[in-house]
Amino acid sequence: MTTLTLTDSSQTAVGDLALLGLLQLVSPALPIGAFAWSQGLESAFELGWVNNENELGDWLEGVLEDGLTQCELPLLVRLQQAWANHDGNAVADWNDWLHATRETAELVDEDLRLGAALVRLLGSLELLPEKGLLPQDPGYVTLFAWAAHVRAVPARQTLLGFAWAWLENQLAVACKAMPLGHTAAQRLTERLRPKLVMAVDDALQKEDHELGPVLPGLALGSALHETQYSRLFRS
């Protein structure tokens, strides 16, 4: 029989706290208003680009492969490392780089508003970074990386959690606006879970010069959404 030492118990406790902290961060109950944004998906429905479960799965796979894998996920690695190094200049540079990749007013607004909401939440929990490290206009990804760092969440789990939260939000949008049944949403979850793991594997191997989303369809849909007559979501 293996005896659990005090050191093992302490390490397990730290790991458990990190996991619970990540679950809190990716929970739909996190009060930052992420439910109000569709990230261009509502436009895809309105324009007839996505009409059923299979087409939605194809759309999400495309956004994951050409968007998150090329941008948000590898950026989280760099931001989390920059936070760990107390490198405010690197944090600010990557935060600015991310803003520059947002191709429409709605996508910029989403990132800034979610970031501001997360700043308020972390402030109320007394978990904000020390003065001077927080960049001007911090985005959601930047603050997500900080929250994962301060909770000692490993990089790989940080990326998996972020990707999972994105998928859950997109399927919630589809259930409201498509509409997509909840059983169909679970089928898509099963279809895409392996894709999330593959995306994280790929993102962890990216070099700086390889970063950058390639999502012309999403950008066009987001731009058209700004003048869409009837909308449920802010993007």
15 located within any domain: no
The total of other beta-carbon atoms located within 10 Å of residue 225's CB is: 24
Residue 29 lies in a domain: no
Whether 101 is in a domain gets the answer yes
Instruction: Specify the residue for token string 């802010």.
Output: 234
Sorted by sequence, the CB contacts under 8 Å of residue 166 that are 6+ apart come out as 64, 68, 72
Task: State residue 231's pLDDT score.
Answer: 55
- Which residue range forms the structural domain that includes residue 92? 37-225
With respect to residue 8, please indicate whether it lies within any of the assigned structural domains: no
CA–chain centroid gap for 91, Å, is: 17
Task: Read off the tokens for 14.
Answer: 């730290």
Q: Evaluate whether residue 221 is within a structural domain.
A: yes
CATH of the domain at 124: 1.10.4190.10
Predicted pLDDT at 7: 45
Q: How many domains does the chain have?
A: 1
Is 135 within 8 Å of 12 (Cβ atoms)? no
pLDDT of 197 reads 96
Q: What is the pLDDT of residue 5?
A: 46
What pLDDT is stored for residue 217 in this prediction? 86
Give residue 12's pLDDT.
53
Q: Is 215 within the bounds of a domain?
A: yes
pLDDT tens for the chain, 235 residues: list them.
444 443 454 455 458 888 888 888 888 887 877 777 778 888 888 889 999 999 999 999 999 999 999 999 999 999 999 999 999 999 999 999 999 998 888 888 888 988 888 888 888 888 888 878 888 899 999 999 999 999 999 999 999 999 999 999 899 888 888 888 999 999 999 999 999 999 999 999 999 999 988 888 888 888 877 776 565 555 5
Q: Is residue 2 part of a domain?
A: no
3-state helix, strand, coil in the chain (%, to 5): 70, 0, 30
Residue 4 belongs to a domain: no
* The pLDDT value given to residue 20: 87
